[in-house]
Chain A
Amino acid sequence: MSKNLELVCPAGTPAGLRTAVDAGAHSVYCGFRDETNARNFPGLNFDRDEMREAAQYAHERGAKILIALNTFMRAGSTDLWKRGVDDAVAAGADALILADIALVDYARKAHPKQRLHLSVQAAAATPEAIAFYRDRFGISRIVLPRVLTVEEIARLSAQASPCETEVFVFGGLCVMAEGRCMLSSYATGKSPNMAGVCSPPSHVTYREDRDALVASVGGFTIERFERGEPAGYPTLCKGRFLAEGAVSHLFEDPVSLNAVELLPRLAEIGVTAFKIEGRQRGRAYISTVVRTFRKAIDAMAAGKKVDFEELRGLTEGQRDTVGAYKKAWR
C-alpha cells in the first residue's frame, strides 16, 4: 500500500480553504472567480489577492494548493484562461488542474516546471488516454472519471505510472461522463464545459402545487417534493422523469457518492489521492468531512484499522452510493 496517500479537499471561499487546511487536508483545490473553473457559482471562488493569501496560508501549514482551471476555453477568448494559468502559477499553485488540451499545452510550454493535473473534465478513462496526456504534456496526475469500476481503476492505476491517479470518494456524484455532458446547455443555454455551471441556480424555479413544491430547470419540471419531503437541489440528471409509462429517477437517484468502504481497496490498487467533492459546501460540513477522512487515511497509511462507522455517519440514511465503482450500478 502506498504510504503517501493524499486527501484532496474542496474550498469554495478563502474561509473554506482555511477550514479545510485546519481540519487536516493534505491539499486543497479551488478556482478563480470566473468561467475558467467548473464551479462558477455566484458567491464562490477566489480573486487574485485571495488566491495568493490562500496559497501562503496553506503552505505555512504544510498543505498544498491545487488551482482548477477546468473548463474549456471559449473561442476568441483564450487569453482569459491563459492569464488564469499564469496567475495561478504566480500565486504559488502546487499544481494546476486542467481539462482543455490546448490549455494543457499552453501551461506546459509557458511554465515547463509547473506540476499539472488532468481534470476529471478531460474524461481520460483508459491507459491510452492517460498515456496521451502523460507522455505528451508531462501530466503528473490524472483525476479519474466517476464512471469507472474499481477493477477498471486498478488497471488504470497500474498502467498510469509514473502518473498518479486521483479518485472521488465523497460528495456529489456525476452520473454522466464529466466534461462530455450538455444537458444544462440543452435545457438552459448555459454550458458546464464552457461556463462552468451545471443546472445553474439562475435557471431554477420553484412553485407551489397543492401540497407539493415543484422544481424546474430551464422551464422543465424535473422534481416534485411532497409536503414534509426533503427538497434537494434540482440537478437535471437527478430529477424525476416519465419514460415507458412510469415516473422514476431515470438517470440517478438524488444521492451522494460515498466510497468510504472502498478506501483500503483503492489505496491497495495504487490510487494516490482521494478527492472530496463540494466547493459550494459550508465550513461546518467541510470541517467534519475533512477531519474524519484524514483520520481514516492516516490510519490506513499506518496499517491500522479504519473506523468506518464514523465515516458512515457523514451521510444520512440510505442517501449515499458507491456509484459506478461497483459494476452493479450500471
Chain B
Amino acid sequence: MQRPRLSLTLGPVLFNWPVAKWVDFYARIADEAAVDRVCIGEVVCSKRKPFVDDVTLEVVDRLERGGKEVIYSTLALPTSKREIREISDVIQAGYRIEANDIATVHMLNGRPHIIGPFINIYNEDALALHLKLGATRICLPPELPLDSIRLLAKGNNAVEVFAFGRPPLALSARCYSARARGMAKDACQFICENERDGMNVETLDGTPFLAVNGIQTMGYVVTAAMRHVETLRDAGVVSLRLSPQSCDMVRVAKVFRDLADGVTTPKEAGEAISVLHLPGPLSDGFLRGVPGHMLTEVD
C-alpha cells in the first residue's frame, strides 16, 4: 500500500529577527525551501508585531508565488484588548489562521483553521473535539511522547508533529530578555532583537539548560525527530513542523524532505543536520517519553 507523502510545515519565526533578516529569510524560503506551507505572524510578543506589519503582504505574496501555502499564526498568550483586536483583524483579512490559544478558536467561530502547538491537545477526545470545531490540521504540543502521538494520529489525516527547532516550553507575562538586563517589559528597547536563537541560560555550574525568547522559555537543545520520521508516518502523522532557527533552514528542509521521501537514512539525516550551525545539541527526549533535553543513542 502506498503511504501518504509526509508534508513539511515551516513554523512561524518565534524570535525577534530584524525586519530585513525576516524578509530575506522568507524570500529564500519562497524560492528554495522544500516545504509545503509556511506560517508567518508574531506568536510570542505583540510588541514586536508592528515591525513586520508593513512587509507582511509582500512576504505573503512572495511565498505564494513560490508555491507555498501561507498560514497566519496568531499570538499564543493574548491578554489585552489590543491583542485580541489584532487577532480579529487577521481573521477578518481572510488569512488562513493557525490558532495558538482558545480565544482565537472562539473568534474563528467554526471557520476551518489550524491548531498550533500552544493549544493543549493531549488525548484523542480533545483532538476529536477540535476537529469538530473546525480544525483541519493540528500541531501537537512538543512534549507528547510517541505513544500518545500514535493514538492521536490514527485515521484522521490531521496531525502534525514538532520535528525540528528549539522546543517551546513556557510562556509568561514577564519578559526575561528584558529582566536579564535589569529592564522592565514596558521599557525593553526590543533588546531581544540581538538574540537570533534566544538568549542562552546556564545552570549555576555552567551547564547549558534553557533559552529565553522574550516572554517565552525554550529548551537549549534543538528537537530533531530524524530517527522517528518513519515511526511518525506509520502512525498516521501527515506533517512535520520545522521551527525556524538562525541556521540554514533551506538545508534543514531538504534533509527532512529527503528523509521523508526515503532518499536518505536517519543516520545520514542526523549527520547532515549536525554540521549546521545549530544553537544547541540535538534532542528527541520528548518523543521518547524521557526528559525533553535528552538525546537517545541510536540502537
**A contact set with B: CB distance below 8 Å:** 72-76, 78, 99-103, 105-106, 122-129, 131-133, 147-149, 152, 155, 175-177, 179-183, 185-189, 191, 193-194, 214, 218, 220-224, 237, 240-244, 246-248, 250-252, 324, 327-330
Which B residues touch A101, using CB under 8 A?
102, 120, 126, 129-130
Q: How far is the CB of B282 from chain A (nearest CB, A)?
A: 15
Contact call B148/A75, Cβ cutoff below 8 A:
yes
The interface centre, meaning the residue of B202, B206, B291 with most chain A CB atoms within 10 A of its CB, is B291
A147 CA to B80 CA in the complex, in Å? 12
Contact call B118/A75, Cβ cutoff below 8 A:
no
User: Does B93 sit at the interface, judged by CB under 8 A?
Assistant: no
Q: Which of A131, A147, A248, A329 meets B180, CB within 8 Å?
A: A248
Contact call B102/A124, Cβ cutoff below 8 A:
yes
* 20 pairs of residues in contact across A and B, judged by CB atoms under 8 Å: A73-B126, A102-B129, A122-B102, A125-B77, A127-B84, A128-B103, A133-B102, A175-B174, A177-B172, A180-B76, A182-B141, A183-B217, A186-B210, A187-B209, A187-B291, A188-B291, A237-B170, A242-B206, A244-B181, A329-B174
Q: How far is the CB of A50 from chain B (nearest CB, A)?
A: 27
A191 CA to B143 CA in the complex, in Å? 8
A128-B106, A243-B199, A244-B180 given; A176·B122 CB < 8 A = no
Q: How far is the CB of A126 from chain B (nearest CB, A)?
A: 4
Contact call B174/A330, Cβ cutoff below 8 A:
yes
User: Closest residue to B103 on the A side, CB-wise?
Assistant: A128
Q: Which of A132, A241, A247, A248 meets B209, CB within 8 Å?
A: A241
A247 CA to B204 CA in the complex, in Å? 7
A221 CA to B201 CA in the complex, in Å? 12
A189 CA to B291 CA in the complex, in Å? 4
A247 CA to B207 CA in the complex, in Å? 13
A241-B210, A242-B201, A242-B204 given; A100·B122 CB < 8 A = yes
Q: How far is the CB of B101 from chain A (nearest CB, A)?
A: 7
User: Closest residue to B185 on the A side, CB-wise?
Assistant: A330
Contact call B173/A147, Cβ cutoff below 8 A:
yes
Which B residues touch A133, using CB under 8 A?
102
User: Which 5 A-B pairs give the minimum distances between C-beta atoms?
Assistant: A102-B125, A128-B103, A147-B173, A186-B292, A132-B106
Contact call B203/A241, Cβ cutoff below 8 A:
yes
Q: Which of A78, A132, A214, A220 meets B105, CB within 8 Å?
A: A132
Which B residues touch A102, using CB under 8 A?
123, 125-126, 128-129
User: Does B18 sit at the interface, judged by CB under 8 A?
Assistant: no
B-side binding surface: helix, strand, loop or mixed?
mixed
Which A residues touch B80, using CB under 8 A?
152
Per-residue 0/1 for B31-49: is the Cβ within 8 Å of any A Cβ (1 yes, 0 no)? Answer: 0000000000000000000
**B contact set with A: CB distance below 8 Å:** 76-81, 84, 101-107, 118, 120, 122-126, 128-130, 141-144, 147-148, 151-152, 167-176, 179-181, 184-186, 199-207, 209-210, 212, 217, 219, 285-286, 289-293
Which B residues touch A105, using CB under 8 A?
125, 129
Which A residues touch B180, using CB under 8 A?
243-244, 246, 248, 250
Contact call A189/B79, Cβ cutoff below 8 A:
no
A-side binding surface: helix, strand, loop or mixed?
mixed
Contact call A129/B101, Cβ cutoff below 8 A:
yes
A75-B148, A242-B206 given; A126·B84 CB < 8 A = yes
Contact call A180/B171, Cβ cutoff below 8 A:
yes
A324 CA to B179 CA in the complex, in Å? 14
User: Closest residue to A218 on the B side, CB-wise?
Assistant: B291
A125 CA to B205 CA in the complex, in Å? 37
Which A residues touch B101, using CB under 8 A?
123, 125-126, 129
A241 CA to B220 CA in the complex, in Å? 13
Which B residues touch A132, using CB under 8 A?
102-103, 105-106
Contact call A72/B123, Cβ cutoff below 8 A:
yes
Q: How far is the CB of B166 from chain A (nearest CB, A)?
A: 11
Q: Which of B76, B102, B170 meets A129, CB within 8 Å?
A: B102
Known: A132-B105, A221-B207. 14 other contacts (CB 8 A): A101-B130, A123-B77, A125-B103, A129-B101, A132-B103, A147-B173, A181-B169, A183-B217, A194-B122, A214-B204, A241-B204, A247-B204, A250-B176, A251-B174
Q: How far is the CB of A179 from chain B (nearest CB, A)?
A: 6
Contact call A76/B204, Cβ cutoff below 8 A:
no
A242 CA to B210 CA in the complex, in Å? 10
Q: Which of B125, B143, B173, B200 meets A73, CB within 8 Å?
A: B125
A128-B106, A193-B143 given; A241·B201 CB < 8 A = yes
The interface centre, meaning the residue of A105, A218, A244 with most chain B CB atoms within 10 A of its CB, is A244
User: Closest residue to B140 on the A side, CB-wise?
Assistant: A75
